[in-house]
Amino acid sequence: MGDRLKGKVALITGGTSGIGEATAELFVLEGAQVVISGRSNDKGSAIAQRLGDNAAYVHADVTQEEDIKASVDATLEHFGRLDVLFNNAGAPVRTTLDSISQEQIEQGVHLLLSSVMLGIRYAVEPMKANGGGSIINNSSIAGLRYRQGDLLYSAIKAAVTHYSKLAGVELGPHGIRVNVISPGAIATPIFWGGSERANTLTAEENARKMSKLQGNLANATPLPMSGMAVDIAEAALYLASEAGRFVNCHDLVVDGGRTSLFNESVHPS
Ligand code: NAD
């Protein structure tokens, strides 16, 4: 328990699973008041209840502009201000170069990129009213390297990173910092179909998948361990807190060294 976010109010999208859930827990432990937004009402309400009076849940689908706006409004209603926005919600986008369709492109862009752009848009006014704020966008090392994700997912995450840097230049004069985190492989339900699929499995089934995944990821990173959701939560805490006050337009890569590996063959045997 610390006070690195004492007095701060944060909105975390996709806060009902994985990285978003771990970040909500850490932020509350560090003194913040947190609104978790997401689509799993039962899970979101249970997490908010577990975290106590300094947490609240609001239903929001980040592919819907009105939901994004409503979650910012709900944060202001619940806790009176907005200091930190973590645009975190996401899911795998699965397509291939020769099967990609207009529909898949639009779905991917809505989920992973428009959500970030509109989240920033609606956070700016309340943050300006506070004299500043911290916006953190969850990107990916897939936006930096080949074969760390599907092509469409990777291209959209690269756009998230670039947009964040440009937004940080425009918003810096208002005291609003915009940064991205590029996680490497982090053990979360995203690897077995995302939280919606995880919600259909028993606790034992999810625990088994998590345990197997951690073993596999530990073998794919220079550090002999799997990245965990809390590793990204700690990065978000740094960017959200006073410790990160001079950090803007930055891509914080948290990947155990994975982006420095170069062992891919373009011509598989
Ligand atoms: P996760 O599946 O555990 O959590 C994703 C969350 O986003 C869930 O709560 C899900 O319900 C929510 N979500 C999905 N679609 C949504 C929508 N339309 N509206 C609102 N919420 C929605 O996965 P995670 O690993 O915690 O992923 C969080 C973010 O981290 C994603 O943006 C993902 O792309 C990024 N990321 C993850 C990894 C990794 O290895 N786990 C690596 C790089 C980047």
Among candidates 18, 16, 17, which has minimal Cα distance to 36?
16
pLDDT recorded at residue 235: 99
pLDDT recorded at residue 197: 87
Secondary structure of residue 156 in the 3-state scheme: helix
Ligand 1 contact, 33 CB (< 6 A): no
* Ligand 1 center to 267 CA (angstroms): 31
Ligand 1 pocket test: pick from 157, 190, 199, 217 the residue with the most ligand atoms within 8 Å of its Cβ.
190
pLDDT recorded at residue 196: 82
* Ligand 1 center to 242 CA (angstroms): 26
Ligand 1 contact, 19 CB (< 6 A): yes
The CA distance from 21 to 234, in Å, is 12
Q: Which long-range contacts (CB under 8 A, 24 or more apart) does 93-102 make?
A: 93/150, 93/152, 93/153, 93/156, 94/150, 95/150, 95/151, 95/152, 96/150, 96/151, 97/151, 100/151, 100/152
Q: Whose CA is nearest to atom 41 of ligand 1?
A: 186
Tokens of 35: 């609104």
Separation of first and last alpha carbons in the chain: 52
User: Domain 9-189+228-254 is in which class?
Assistant: alpha beta
Secondary structure of residue 42 in the 3-state scheme: helix
Tokens of 46: 């249970």
- Taking only the tens of pLDDT, the chain with its 269 residues reads 799 999 999 999 999 999 999 999 999 999 999 999 999 999 999 999 999 999 999 999 999 999 999 999 999 999 999 999 999 999 999 999 999 999 999 999 999 999 999 999 999 999 999 999 999 999 999 999 999 999 999 999 999 999 999 999 999 999 999 999 999 999 999 999 888 888 899 999 999 999 999 999 999 899 999 999 999 999 999 999 999 999 999 999 999 999 998 766 667 66
Closest ligand 1 atom number to CA of residue 195: 2
* Ligand 1 center to 113 CA (angstroms): 13
Active site (annotated) includes residue 153: yes
The CA-based diameter of the chain, rounded to the nearest angstrom, is 59
Ligand 1 contact, 87 CB (< 6 A): no
Tokens of 17: 């699973």
Ligand 1 contact, 188 CB (< 6 A): yes
Residues found in the chain = 269
Facing residues of 55 across strands?
34
Closest ligand 1 atom number to CA of residue 190: 2
- Of the residues 57, 122, 146, 153, only one is catalytic, namely 153
* Ligand 1 center to 163 CA (angstroms): 19
pLDDT recorded at residue 263: 65
Residue 165: which residues within 8 A CB-CB, separation 6 or more? 178, 180, 249, 250, 251
Please state the domain extents for the chain.
9-189+228-254
pLDDT recorded at residue 59: 98
- How far is the CA of 3 from the CAs of 41, 131, 239, 242, in angstroms? 29, 21, 15, 11
Ligand 1 contact, 62 CB (< 6 A): yes
Mean pLDDT (the chain) is 96
Ligand 1 contact, 138 CB (< 6 A): yes
Q: Whose CA is nearest to atom 42 of ligand 1?
A: 183
Ligand 1 pocket test: pick from 17, 192, 232 the residue with the most ligand atoms within 8 Å of its Cβ.
17
* Ligand 1 center to 185 CA (angstroms): 12
Ligand 1 contact, 172 CB (< 6 A): no
